[in-house]
Chain A
């Protein structure tokens, strides 16, 4: 069975290390915050100006002056700090944020990513995605392996306008976990019940299977 969104988020959460400063994008990446492993202390950065983002407020609470980059109401944790947008992207640009998790429409086997624009169709803007992918030390993409038509989103070359070049390090899709290597996508884990043949059939870009590939623990 391919992974659902929660399972993708849970698998990505296993990549978090104690002491990491982490920026989580909108969508599946936001769910990663729900699965931070016990004993791993991470600080969540929200690029609209907050370090130390906490969970959503309880029903009836919610402060209009306290939102995340997806414009959702949030809370802070003890030790949090507010700052302006220039400082926020300054810390991203200077490499202080250890990990960025974001979604993608397409990823190429050299690490290029497209996630902001469908020409003549979706012109919403890139928000902070271009800044994040250009600067973050480590980028993990959370995505569906194929589009609703069943076509691969892991490609030899992106067809949509790029967000960044050669920047994605790892992908967790509904089918498995893939490192982006000089040889292309390297499958290191497959989702329970998903076969290597299915992954091969649904990956258009260069694909190698790790010698020690294993079934993902979910």
Chain B
């Protein structure tokens, strides 16, 4: 079993134009910086991206938007990106806005092999339009389908050569469910260690879900809203 690849270019080499990708991260926290850069370099387009946010103008998925590589975004919040708004209003970009918990759970459903789930969020709103409603114990729920993604791309803090992943802080967010959901999952990690070095009690994503892993380089880990208090 050899899951370790040399770097981002090799990890994304077979992602074709038109693919559906899941990309981990919340805002800019925990995004797969190396793979995004490799996808920008590779120049694939017509992508459908499932990701909570769409980056900012000059970082994260914003870099892919700038190169017009994205056909459709499936996200819960996209408010930090002027180029995104421009493409959306001009009709160049298709967007499906999904409640954040529904987004997470539709990833989870895919990773757990469940075709669909019944969820509360969006009942009585435009999110419910066209969706099947079913009543359980007096309460209405929406039928929401599992996502179907060709590739999931996540970034973890540590990973081992077996593909086991450990995340740090709130950089975990959507990545575990996405890692479980992708047909092919690519993990870039800050620290790649030999099998046996990670505590099996503290693995967030078991290696069975990870097809390719590599140690990323030059992480910028940009902070979107640096907020501090006086000492």
Q: Mark B201-231, 1 if CB is under 8 A from A, else 0.
A: 0001000000000000000011111111111
Q: Which of A36-44, A56-64, A140-148 contacts B (4 or more CB under 8 A)?
A: A56-64
For the complex, count residues of A whose C-beta is within 8 A of B. 53
Q: Are B169 and A126 in contact (CB under 8 A)?
A: no
Within 8 A of A (CB), among B148-178: 157, 167-177
Q: How many A-B residue pairs have CB under 8 A?
A: 182
- Chain A residue contacts of B226, Cβ below 8 A: 62, 72-73
B186 in contact (CB, < 8 A): no
B16 in contact (CB, < 8 A): no
Q: Which of B42-50, B61-69, B102-110 contacts A (4 or more CB under 8 A)?
A: B102-110
Q: Mark A30-66, 1 if CB is under 8 A from B, else 0.
A: 0000000000000000111110000111111111111
Q: Are A55 and B229 in contact (CB under 8 A)?
A: yes
Residue of B28, B29, B168, B231 with most chain A CB atoms under a 10 A cut-off: B29
A127 in contact (CB, < 8 A): yes
Q: Are A126 and B85 in contact (CB under 8 A)?
A: no
Q: Are A85 and B100 in contact (CB under 8 A)?
A: yes
In the bound complex, CA of A127 to CA of B164 (Å): 29
B147 in contact (CB, < 8 A): no
Q: How far is the CB of A56 from chain B (nearest CB, A)?
A: 5
B97 in contact (CB, < 8 A): yes
Whether A82 contacts B172 in the complex (CB less than 8 A), given A62-B223, A65-B157, A130-B99, comes out as yes
Q: Are A65 and B77 in contact (CB under 8 A)?
A: no
Q: Are A127 and B227 in contact (CB under 8 A)?
A: no
In the bound complex, CA of A49 to CA of B229 (Å): 22
Q: Mark B63-93, 1 if CB is under 8 A from A, else 0.
A: 0000000000001111110000100110000
Whether A57 contacts B107 in the complex (CB less than 8 A), given A86-B177, A163-B125, comes out as no
B199 in contact (CB, < 8 A): no
- Chain B residue contacts of A149, Cβ below 8 A: none
- Chain B residue contacts of A29, Cβ below 8 A: none
Closest to B88 in A: A123
B120 in contact (CB, < 8 A): yes
The 8 Å CB contact of B104, one of A86, A130, A134, is A86
The 8 Å CB contact of A164, one of B78, B125, B204, B228, is B125
Closest to B229 in A: A56
Whether A64 contacts B222 in the complex (CB less than 8 A), given A84-B173, A125-B77, comes out as yes
Q: Are B122 and A134 in contact (CB under 8 A)?
A: yes
The 8 Å CB contact of A127, one of B100, B105, B126, is B100
- Chain A residue contacts of B101, Cβ below 8 A: 47, 85, 88-90, 92-93, 128, 130-131
Closest to B228 in A: A59
B30 in contact (CB, < 8 A): yes
Q: Are A56 and B227 in contact (CB under 8 A)?
A: yes
Closest to B111 in A: A86
In the bound complex, CA of A92 to CA of B157 (Å): 26
A-B contact pairs, 24 of them (CB 8 A): A48-B26, A59-B228, A59-B229, A59-B231, A62-B226, A65-B168, A66-B170, A67-B170, A68-B170, A69-B26, A71-B224, A73-B225, A73-B226, A84-B176, A84-B204, A90-B101, A123-B88, A125-B77, A125-B97, A126-B97, A126-B99, A126-B100, A127-B77, A134-B120
Give the 8 A-B CB pairs with smallest separation, nearest first: A89-B101, A124-B79, A131-B101, A165-B124, A85-B104, A65-B169, A64-B221, A128-B100
